[in-house]
Amino acid sequence: MKVEDIKRVAIIGFGTMGSGIAQVVAQAGYEVIARDVTDDILKRGLEMIRSGPFGLEKAVEKGKITREQAEAALSRIKVTTDLASAVKEADFIIEAVFENLELKKKIFREVDELAPRHAIIVSNTSTLSITALASATTRPDKVAGMHFFNPVPVMRLVEVIRGLQTSDETIEVVKGLAQKLGKTPVIVNKDVPGFVANRIGFPAILEAIRLYEEGVASAQDIDNAMKLGYNWPMGPLELADLIGLDVLLDACESIYAETRDPKYNPPMILRQMVRAGWLGRKTKRGFYVY
């Protein structure tokens, strides 16, 4: 299979990441069918694509695309709650549900049974083992990681992760699709926890949280130190709020469970903020009030 053979893309999971992925895939000219478990989730996902902060309406307002291009992209997105109808004619399937290994393995097992034999199945996981996900299928050579970054319509990076049994052909197709979506792929040759970007970035964010927890400096000053001293476009605590403190906590706990490296052990203040429901921008409160 070659990237030119991809005509229809199925996306399993239509939350923040799944809807963002659907948007960029549709804008690139592909037919998209998105699946989630309830009609309400599907409606919210479509609304995010239409009029969310990084949606098609904003892109039109900023002059990045025309009204006609926005309408054409939206017309290419179909939604369903039925997994079989989502994947039965798909050439490429992107799983984008939340970070739970057993749930993802269940989805991979079901998709493997329902999808055409030529279809490639990838996961948008940020930390979990691609090899473990591939083990739930009868096509481990056609399974890879395709890790997008939030917000998907804006962030250019896509990590392409090779599982133990992923074929070279599959890696080339995933890399080629990322490029057709206007992204820059980074090839991760070993299936390690956190891959590349999060493996480097999370310790920096957690260290900033520890400094905040210890009262060394204010959130604003910690962020300014990295923006002005290291030329980061966004401070580590601002970035934590954007990622979502619950998402950050889960991801770091996942890497820590695999590596037992203390630099990935989340600080207590992060755990407490998540317990309090302070999850960052999406709840209007995190290290900052929005």
CATH superfamily of 198-275: N-(1-d-carboxylethyl)-l-norvaline Dehydrogenase; domain 2 (1.10.1040.10)
Adjacency order of strands within the sheet including 143-148: 77-80, 31-35, 8-12, 92-95, 120-123, 143-148, 157-162, 184-188
CB neighbours of residue 48 within 10 Å:
22
CATH of domain 3-188: 3.40.50.720
Mind listing the pLDDT tens digit of every residue in the chain (290 residues)? 999 999 999 999 999 999 999 999 999 999 999 999 999 999 999 999 999 999 999 999 999 999 999 999 999 999 999 999 999 999 999 999 988 899 999 999 999 999 999 999 999 999 999 999 999 999 999 999 999 998 899 999 999 999 999 999 999 999 999 999 999 999 999 999 999 999 999 999 999 999 999 999 999 999 999 999 999 999 999 999 998 999 999 999 999 999 999 999 999 999 999 999 999 999 999 999 99
What's the pLDDT at 49?
97
Residues 6+ apart with CB under 8 A from 45: 14, 15, 18, 19, 22, 34, 36, 79
Please report, for the chain, the start and end positions of each structural domain, with discontinuous segments joined by +.
Answer: 3-188, 198-275
What's the pLDDT at 34?
98
Task: Please check whether residue 70 is in contact with residue 60, taking contact to mean a CB–CB distance below 8 angstroms.
Answer: yes
Task: Please check whether residue 23 is in contact with residue 56, taking contact to mean a CB–CB distance below 8 angstroms.
Answer: yes
Query: Catalytic site residues?
Result: 126, 147, 159, 198
What's the pLDDT at 99?
87
- Token pair, residue 39, equals 């009609």
What's the pLDDT at 141?
98
* Strand, helix or coil for residue 34: strand
Task: Please check whether residue 286 is in contact with residue 247, taking contact to mean a CB–CB distance below 8 angstroms.
Answer: no
Cα-flanking dihedrals φ and ψ of residue 11, to 5°? -125, 120
Taking each helix axis from N to C end, the angle separating 39-51 and 67-75, rounded to the nearest 10 degrees, works out to 160
